[in-house]
Amino acid sequence: MDFRLTDDDLELKQMAREFAEKRLYPYAEEYDEKETTPRELIDEAGELGYLGFTASEDYGGMGLSAVAFGGVLEEICAGCAGFGILVSVHNSLCCEIVDKFGCDDLKKKYLTKMVTGEYVGAYCLTEPDAGTDVASIRTSAEDKGDHYLINGTKAFVTSGGLAGVLIVFARTDASEDGHKGISCFVVEPGWNGINPGKPEKKCGMKASDTREINFTDVKVPKENIIGKPGEGFKMAVSILNAGRLGVAFQAIGIAQAALNEAVKYSKERKQFNQPIANFQAIQFKIADMATRIDAGRLLAYRAAEMKDRGEMCARECSMAKLFCSQTANYVVNEAVQIHGGYGYMKEYAVERYFRDARLTEIYEGTTEAQRMVISRDILKD
């Protein structure tokens, strides 16, 4: 199968590349050092449509395909992967769950502001004791008649300190164990009882705001539930496919950027009176890096195309996430090796790519979790 972007998709991808080259790549090291994403950058991304890319046009989104979004996300993550997380999570998890499962009133109230970037979305699913095992979450949402009362703690919340909207999963039926009894809510971070923790000190992806959020007797109006009570787990699993696909394209963006840096350096760096690009050892590394990137990109586009057609694609999204994240880590490791000692220095971008790539095998489902999804799907046949 051959996946080709349309002329419109290619134009969007080129525009995203120009945005990344102008507004992200030159400042990525600064964002990494300061561990922050400037608000004006978020506003600019919103104006360009990158924060409502696949959301319905009826609510101000661009209504574009997952294939087109994948190409754009790859370019953004090549420029600054930390900012790319914000774009990915906001679109593929937060906007999509409101757009797909929310009622018209929720969409009018929240989605219309999310697609412009006025409200950045934060996805609150993971807990200190509930990561891969989503069904074990303990955050509760007690029915109080005209509202729910939420109590609990969410961990590793992307954009937790920047968010204007929190998508919160909580247990509405304490008598139910496992995946039953979990519901999903739209929560505003300014409501009483919401206390964000300090930003986490991370190895990489430092431009992304990541923190714990505590909920203590937070009153959430009944109308702010997404879907029906008890449907949260089903929605979370459905949306995670989009999240994993986003990580796949993010990983490819990091890998492509690392390859570009390695190629450039190998042509400039001279040893034994010639560029190191002339040495077969370097040429073979570059060949393997490029081949794995292309293979990963094709896996990601296949999954995106299936998603656009409305087909079941959990296996394909997990395959893309698994392979692309491993590819990113392989490629950045080789890029650092090609740079030699300089690759270990912060003045070279491959040092940041090396740190950023590591997370792609962990968040939105670990490499091991993807293998579980893939193998179970194969073995059930």
Q: How far apart (Å, rounded) are the C-alpha atoms in residues 184 and 28?
A: 34
Average predicted confidence (pLDDT) for the chain = 95
Query: Is 364 one of the annotated active-site residues of the chain?
Result: yes
Token duo for residue 11: 């134009």
**The CATH number of the domain covering residues in 239-379:** 1.20.140.10
**Confidence check: pLDDT of 270 > 70:** yes
Output the pLDDT for position 26: 96
Residue 178 scores a pLDDT above 90: no
pLDDT at residue 20 greater than cutoff 60: yes
Q: Residue 133: pLDDT band by 50, 70, 90 thresholds? A: confident
Name the catalytic one among 35, 268, 364, 368: 364
Domain ranges, ordered by start, for the chain:
7-114, 121-232, 239-379
Alpha carbons 204 and 280: distance in angstroms, whole number: 32
- What is the model's pLDDT at position 2? 59
Q: What percent of the chain has pLDDT over 90?
A: 93
Query: What is residue 1's predicted lDDT score, i.e. its pLDDT?
Result: 57
Residue 366 has pLDDT above 80, yes or no: yes
Lowest mean pLDDT: which of 4-8, 14-18, 23-27, 247-251? 4-8
* CATH number given to 121-232: 2.40.110.10
Mean pLDDT of 350-366: 97
Q: What is the pLDDT of residue 3?
A: 66
Per-residue confidence (pLDDT) for residue 174, from 0 to 100: 77
What confidence tens digit (pLDDT) does each residue in 84-97 have?
Answer: 999 999 999 999 99
pLDDT for the residue 112:
97
User: 7-114: what CATH class?
Assistant: mainly alpha
Residue 179 scores a pLDDT above 80? no
- For residue 23, pLDDT beyond 90: yes
Distance, in Å, from the CA atom of 239 to the CA atom of 260, rounded to the nearest integer, reads: 32
